[in-house]
Amino acid sequence: MINVSQTQQPFWNNQADGYVIFIKDDLTSLDGQNLLNDIEQKHYPHLKKIFTHHQFKGNCGQSFVLSAMDNDQLIHFIFVGVGKVNRSSTQEVEMLRRALAEAIRQQKKLTLKTLVASLPEFTAAPYDLAKQLTIAAHMASYECSKFKSDKKEAPFEGSLLFVTDEKTCAPAIADGNIIGQAINMARDWADTPGNILTPTELSLHAATLAQKHNLKHTIFGRDKAIELGMGAFLAVDAGSDQDGKFVVLEYKAQEKDAPTIALCGKGVTFDSGGISLKPSNSMTGMKFDMSGAAAVIAVMDIIAHLKPAVNVICAAPMVENMPSGKAARQDDVVTAMNGKTIEIKNTDAEGRLILADALCYVEKNYHPDIMIDIATLTGACAYALGHFYSAVITPDKELATTLEAIGAATGDRVWELPFDDDFKASNKSDIADVSNSGSPAYLAGTITAGCFLHNFVDKARWAHLDIAGTAHDVPAINYVGKGSTGAGIRLLTEFILAYKK
């Protein structure tokens, strides 16, 4: 856990044990020259020489620590490289996220209580920069240590102070703390394995949050799903000994006539593939298959804190996809809540089944203006876009463009994949209205899955986010580390906060 706050004290007057200095690749500091001059004058007159000797070049992600005594206290200068800074604003902010993450890695390693960093003057507005860096600090401080016997009693605790006089920064940091904590909460759920984080357990986390914020919440299982005609959700739920749960949380804006945004998140707490059993290599990591549900619940936590003038609904179908004598078979035909029949050609394409009923449920009950679903839906997505971009699929060009822009600004990047009628034919079934698995002749598994979902959208503007490549085990981005990343939370939060009808 890290606690981020603002300080208006001069940089060196903060009684910290760690001082972060951002260094560009010309070995000057981002704050101008002052901080480096101060260190040179007081402690290390040959600082540049030392940098060169240790091959510290100010490249992004590089760091170098020097220690000194100051008023009988041992203090540490953490120099972190930011590389070149004359790039586009979103890239600069991303560089700073990574530089700060490296400083926090050093903080953890050296067990420093308090880091001080000056908030650089940058192309990005101070509010945005302070918020983005606060979120990144939380993300960088996260680790899932609760299953390590030696660490579980003493997880990392530290603070970070941003030196700035900017008035907008205090609320930015406060918002960033809320968003960062919610992201890490969702990551902790996703990192928790399926034997512990069952659908019931995840639904209890959602209920606890709803109670904390006084949000209306509805949680039901098999019986109610039968009553509602959720044949697609029930088909996936059928194979497991764990009861499936359908969770709905509602945030109501104070403003009358506020628009409504609905979020649907795939909550498969473990995806074995079902009767179409996955090979064991592909099954590893399938505890993360509830990352979409975790994301939308975390967003509700943030929204309940930040109270935007938009109604927000989240629906998260939670199931475990297992093979058993009660499991759905290949060739089965089931009927979704909107009456459409689905031929189950592959029980491993279960995410789209539970989301089909979630989309129907949400639209029928809440008539949202916008509906966005988020899911670790297709392995093909990770092949198409890799780990750094989630896919967005939508018939709504404007929505795609907005999501892409917000993705770039928040570091939670998305890339649009095409959506048109040619792909729709891939989901044809000989016997039912649609098949749950796109014909292999069409390839493009991520797009055909998106097209499948569109069958369950009626009037709302809609976009589908595939986070299969971005939700966990992302290499090279130091502030997301190992395991779950919280993909989509920054994106959806900012989308809601910025939404104007």
- Give me the residues that bind ligand BES (CB under 6 A), please: 271, 289, 346, 348-351, 376-380, 382, 437, 445, 468
| 466 lies in the binding site for Zn ion (CB under 5 A) | no
47 vs 354, beta carbon nearer ligand BES: 354
Strands 311-321 and 260-265: parallel
Q: Report how far residue 464's alpha carbon sits from residue 393's, in angstroms, rounded to the nearest whole number.
A: 5
CB of 331 to ligand BES, least distance (A): 14
> DSSP label at 289?
G
The verdict on whether 97 is a catalytic residue reads: no
335 vs 346, beta carbon nearer ligand BES: 346
CB 260 within 8 A of CB 364: no
The residues, any chain, with a CB within 8 Å of residue 494's CB and separated by 6 or more, are 406, 409, 410
Q: Which partner, Zn ion, ligand BES, none, binds residue 437 by CB below 5 to 8 Å per kind? A: ligand BES
93 vs 349, beta carbon nearer ligand BES: 349
| 445 lies in the binding site for Zn ion (CB under 5 A) | no
CB of 349 to ligand BES, least distance (A): 4
CB of 396 to ligand BES, least distance (A): 24
Please give the single-letter amino acid code of residue 432. Answer: A
Q: Which partner, ligand BES, Zn ion, none, binds residue 346 by CB below 5 to 8 Å per kind? A: ligand BES
341 pairs with which residues across the strands?
335
Q: Which partner, Zn ion, ligand BES, none, binds residue 107 by CB below 5 to 8 Å per kind? A: none
Contacts 24+ apart (CB under 8 A), 65-74: 65/106, 65/110, 66/39, 68/42, 68/43, 68/44, 70/42, 70/43, 73/17, 74/17
Candidate residues 17, 175, 271, 301; the one interacting with Zn ion per rule CB under 5 A: 271
The verdict on whether 148 is a catalytic residue reads: no
Candidate residues 94, 188, 289, 357; the one interacting with Zn ion per rule CB under 5 A: 289
CB of 199 to ligand BES, least distance (A): 15
x-or-dash string of contact with Zn ion, 345-384, rule CB under 5 A: ---x-xx---------------------------------
Q: Report how far residue 381's alpha carbon sits from residue 378's, in angstroms, rounded to the nearest whole number.
A: 6
134 vs 485, beta carbon nearer ligand BES: 485
- Cα 202 → chain centroid: 17
From 187, 345, 352, 424, active-site residue: 352
Write down how long the chain is: 501
228 vs 349, beta carbon nearer ligand BES: 349
Q: Report how far residue 352's alpha carbon sits from residue 437's, in angstroms, rounded to the nearest whole number.
A: 9
Please give the single-letter amino acid code of residue 227. Answer: E
Q: Which partner, ligand BES, Zn ion, none, binds residue 466 by CB below 5 to 8 Å per kind? A: none
126 vs 351, beta carbon nearer ligand BES: 351
**DSSP per residue, 56-101:** ----TT-EEEEEEEETTEEEEEEEEEEE---S-HHHHHHHHHHHHH
With tokens 């000989």, the residue in question is: 430
Structure-derived torsion over alpha carbons of residues 325, 330, 334, 336, reported in degrees to the nearest 10: 110
- From the list 94-102, 105-113, 263-271, 380-388, the region that binds Zn ion by CB under 5 A is 263-271
CB of 425 to ligand BES, least distance (A): 16
Q: Report how far residue 375's alpha carbon sits from residue 381's, in angstroms, rounded to the nearest whole number.
A: 11
CB of 268 to Zn ion, least distance (A): 5
| 237 lies in the binding site for Zn ion (CB under 5 A) | no
289 vs 301, beta carbon nearer Zn ion: 289
Catalytically annotated residues: 278, 352
Binding site for Zn ion (CB under 5 A): 268, 271, 289, 348, 350-351
